[in-house]
Amino acid sequence: MRERVQQAVSELGYRPFVGARAMRGATYTVGVSSLDTRNLFFGLIADGVQQAMERAGYGVLATLVGAGEGSQLESAESVIDHRMDGLILITPRMSRRSLDAFAHKIPTVVIGRHGSGDAYDSVASDDAAGARLVVDHLVGLGHRHIAYYSQRVSRTAGLPEELRESGYRSAMADHGLQPDVVVGDWTQEAGRAAATALLERPCRPTAIHAGADIAAFGFLGTFWDRGVRVPDEISVAGCDNTPVAAMTPIGLTSVDQRGHAMGEQAAQLLIERIRRPRAGRHFLVPPRLIARTSTAAPR
Amino acid sequence: MRERVQQAVSELGYRPFVGARAMRGATYTVGVSSLDTRNLFFGLIADGVQQAMERAGYGVLATLVGAGEGSQLESAESVIDHRMDGLILITPRMSRRSLDAFAHKIPTVVIGRHGSGDAYDSVASDDAAGARLVVDHLVGLGHRHIAYYSQRVSRTAGLPEELRESGYRSAMADHGLQPDVVVGDWTQEAGRAAATALLERPCRPTAIHAGADIAAFGFLGTFWDRGVRVPDEISVAGCDNTPVAAMTPIGLTSVDQRGHAMGEQAAQLLIERIRRPRAGRHFLVPPRLIARTSTAAPR
DNA sequence: CTGAAAGCGCTAACAT
DNA sequence: ATGTTAGCGCTTTCAG
């Protein structure tokens, strides 16, 4: 009997309608909310999620966000409107309250925001450790004056920019060095502008940690244009280990966050949480430093 | 009465369930199938789709494909399983037969593959014109020996690699020049290898059009590593105008395909097609050359 | 203008 | 083992 049905299924090319299944059970689909299409790092995370979910028999649908302002809240609501079985949020910048509200409505895993509590699970890069890796690396090379380019910190707690800055500060303090923090946006343009301002200082740092690769590219661009040799005159480091960082002749020293693995782990946690609600689990993934040609001993 | 319902809707935070709506009407959601998370150009397209659809009151959900092999067929099927109102396919590499089959099941618009027929609409960059722009540009600079790095052409008709190569060939012929086509994959690694092979030739071309930015980066990498100065010893051009191409010190001359505009136009066509099935419409978007520092007159 | 009911495709709980 | 049925939340049609 079972066989005859299977037979008919193949012959007729029958496929169950997800919406109808949703009305009585599950959709076997999870949503990735607010995938930033401008950032390859997020793509890496999403790909990890996709692969792990596929192996487990789940489909993945993503809501996108790019230059448009389409809010993260609307994105996540849409996943709920489709009654998906689970929700993955990538670096959600919403309030803690909103985050909890979603997590109470649908099994949720947060990636890239340090979390706590039982409402959801989280997987984040250990951003403080990443900043420390960079400082240690630069100090090891002989640098003493290491500046840090920090993204404006929003009041929302647990986002990478917050932990990277505090990681930098405490690492510098541990080495007995003075912190030197410049604030701006983590974009290429803002990085370019910050580099220009840096060059006008009477006393320049010998190294700069740009906080994020995309900002580091802005620094590298200005330095190149102005004939400031990297790493001879100044060392530059980033964070995210974007594919571009590895490219010749850029060779940007960066912190790798294992985005693909983070995505896979988040998928695993989400599947567990879908099967059975349980206490929140929160993971910090240790990053690793990828030293390239943009950092060297000071002259 | 209507007001009292609206009142209750806001107070209770009621949101209609898409799956249930789908059983009697529409989902007001369209699917973008097989978004390649490793390519920023596709993200640009998807962002255009997203913005235009949002303005029209439609939601957009994307299926992802990255390093995993998750097939495009499965991706598109999944959009149908969710009974979405429309389907957008980005550079679908499936057979013409499969493409038509999908288009008969769901209103479909194809981006990045030259199409014809009434089953679906299409929006593609005029790839032949793009290749011609590069050849004209290089010839204008004084180059005579211009090589082209071509992606292996699959038998599926209408894909960019096919039209770029034929555009290159006919442009060269029009200038009375001999074509010089090297075949390989459009990846950074394959580009690196092809560049190495090129350098071992007794008689090198003075310029190379790599066909795609990602391959051009491979060429630039090898040239840089081997001390071959660009553009002094050899000019390099790409296609796609990836954000990376604009970066200092890369400055890759490239063909811009207006990905964002293509996405918006595709969205517009899809909305029309959802409202009322009609004859297929097929657009070629004229590309433009962005000349940067990687191309110059031969020594 | 408001209310009631049928039915979309599925799953789970039942009856045979 | 196989067959039948209720009901998920919505839209559309039909009745009052």
Per-residue pLDDT tens over the stretch B192-244: 999 999 999 999 999 999 999 999 999 999 999 999 999 999 999 999 999 99
Q: For residue B49, what pLDDT is reported?
A: 97
Nearest by CB to B62, from A22, A62, A222: name it: A62
Mean pLDDT of B37-65: 94
Measured CA distances, A277 to A240, A251, A274 (Å)? 32, 45, 7
pLDDT at B35 over 80: yes
Residue B87 backbone phi and psi in degrees, to 5:
-135, 130
CB contact under 8 A, B22 and A27: no
Measured torsion, CA atoms of residues B159, B212, A51, B44, in degrees rounded to the nearest 10: -90
Q: For residue B141, what pLDDT is reported?
A: 98
A65 chain-B contacts, CB cut-off 8 A: 50
Closest to B127 in 3D by CA, of B259, B260, B255: B255
Mean pLDDT of A23-38: 94
Contact A207, A138 (CB under 8 A): yes
Residues 239-258 of A with CB under 8 A from B: 243-244, 247-250
CB contact under 8 A, B51 and A68: yes
Mean pLDDT of A145-164: 93
Q: For residue A149, what pLDDT is reported?
A: 98
Q: Report how many Cβ contacts below 8 Å link chain A to chain B.
A: 169
Which range has the worst mean pLDDT, A59-68, A201-210, B160-169? A59-68
CB contact under 8 A, B38 and A40: yes
Residue nearest to nucleotide D11 (CA to C1'): B24
Q: For residue A4, what pLDDT is reported?
A: 84
Measured torsion, CA atoms of residues A28, A32, A37, A43, in degrees rounded to the nearest 10: -80
Instruction: Return all residues near B184 (Cβ < 8 A) that are at least 6 apart.
Output: B149, B150, B151, B152, B190, B191, B193, B194, B215
d(CA A169, CA A177): 9
Rg (CA), chain A: 22
Task: Evaluate the omega torsion of the peptide bond into residue B286 and state whether it is cis, within 30 degrees of 0.
Answer: no
d(CA B84, CA B105): 11
Nearest by CB to B19, from A23, A61, A250: name it: A23
Chain B interface, best mutation among A30, A81, A242, by max B CB count within 10 A? A81
Mean per-residue pLDDT of chain B: 95
Q: Kindly report, residue by residue over A91-105, the tens digit of the pLDDT.
A: 999 999 999 999 999
Q: Kindly report, residue by residue over A12-29, the tens digit of the pLDDT.
A: 889 999 999 999 989 999
Is B12 touching A (CB cutoff 8 A)?
no
CB contact under 8 A, A18 and B19: yes
Chain B interface, best mutation among A45, A47, A242, by max B CB count within 10 A? A47
Contact A128, A170 (CB under 8 A): yes
**Å separating the CA of residue A73 from the C1' of nucleotide C4:** 37
Q: How far is B160 from chain A (nearest CA, A)?
A: 22
Residue nearest to nucleotide D2 (CA to C1'): A1
Indicate the pLDDT class of residue B146, thresholds 50, 70 and 90: very high
pTM of the model: 0.94
Q: For residue B120, what pLDDT is reported?
A: 98
Please name every residue paired with B110 in a beta bridge, in sequence order, or none if there are none: B89, B122
d(CA A41, CA A111): 12
| CB neighbour burial string for B58-68, b if at least 16 within 10 angstroms, e if fewer | bbbbbbbbbee
